[in-house]
Amino acid sequence: MERSGRYANASIIVLAVLGVIGALYVFKPILVPIALAILLASMLSPITGFFRRVLPMSTTGAAVFLFIITGLLGLYIASLVAQSLIEASETLPSDVERLAGRVSNQISRLSRDHPFLRNVLPQPGTIDILGDANRVLLINKLQYGLPELMYLVAQGVIIMVFVLFLLAESEMLSRKLLHFFARSSHDARVAENTLRSLNHQIRAFLVARTLINIGVGVVVTLVLWAIGVKFAVALGVFAALTNFIPYVGQVVGGALPTLVTLAQFESIGGAILVASIYTAVVVIEGYVVTPYILGKSLDLNGTVILIACLFWGFIWGLVGLVLAMPITACVKLIFQAVPDLHRWAELMSREWKSPTESPPAEEAVVGTSSNDDLPAVSRY
């Protein structure tokens, strides 16, 4: 009887997990804007606090002022991207065809000069066919690029409106949520401390990660602009956005500028220069800048990161890949704050260990004396 009860509980848990995964997938159009809005509100809340301290305005006024500033900035960036798409629709297809022709000629030359490579190298005609196919695909994508950009701008406006309400009503919503879930004043106090700690750590990680990626994008833009590559701004923005995606994003973010440079120049010297500088920037960012700024902020092992990227990428697509790290970090920090879930936090971590003696719940959340309980990013 006892064993059947355990099996029944396990079955209920499995069904509940599958139900949650199905809900995340089905309600993606609703949940993705909400998740993005919550993360943006967490990042931007210190700015509204700064406006309230410097300017004589209320919480709502500071949120509206920030909404106007970010809206104008977003429209300016969207106009730059639209201009790049228009220019790309005129030049990139011919660049792809030119690049395919160069690769095909190089393979033909190698096959002629070194016959033993014929069984290893692809046929030159195959490269030409791939070039034509990719050129047609690129033309179709660029033709539909502007409508998709307008859709993204509309989505961005909706998300920013949601952020506006979250920033304007953050204090009221926090009190109501705590009152709704907490059964006693002690539970409310513990929940408030937990929420404040999680918000502070996630905000610090997001701000630091965003600033680092902006730096990568600026360096890529300046390098491409200095050597005369077209679409330098768009490629720099692309490199900054893809750097949010662990592992794969860095490869894609460097491959596209390198291929575009190779297609626009007669020699491969420019492409090698771009690839070398991008590799150096990524290495410095990954082994020097990020560890120095973030420290052990996430402390997620590589397996968990890959699983998170696969899961959220499948559930929410490209946006899920970008949000995989912040969402997984939130889950791990919640596990660290709840004593009953410490083993899950330890499983997700590389170095974090469950306390040998669990301290009182309130002290475990508020205390900052242990570097394991509160990640190093909370200093920022």
For the chain, what are the domain ranges?
Answer: 31-168, 187-297, 299-366
pLDDT in tens, 173-207: 777 777 776 677 777 777 777 777 777 877 888 88
Q: Which two tokens stand for residue 69?
A: 């500033």
Whether the pLDDT of residue 224 is over 60: the answer is yes
* Alpha carbons within 13 A on the beta-carbon side of 295: 13
If pLDDT is split at 50, 70 and 90, which confidence band does 150 have? Answer: confident
Q: With CA atoms as reference, report the closest residue to 47 among 205, 154, 173, 164.
A: 164
d(CA 240, CA 30): 26
At residue 64, what are phi and psi to the nearest 5 degrees?
Answer: -65, -40
At residue 349, what are phi and psi to the nearest 5 degrees?
Answer: -90, 165
Whether the pLDDT of residue 117 is over 50: the answer is yes
pLDDT in tens, 129-149: 655 655 555 556 655 555 666
- Residue pair 378/369 in contact by the 8 Å Cβ criterion: no
Q: Which two tokens stand for residue 365?
A: 């959340």
Q: With CA atoms as reference, report the closest residue to 237 among 131, 89, 83.
A: 83
Q: Which two tokens stand for residue 152?
A: 């993204």
d(CA 43, CA 255): 30
% residues pLDDT > 90 (the chain): 1
d(CA 366, CA 378): 12
d(CA 299, CA 296): 5
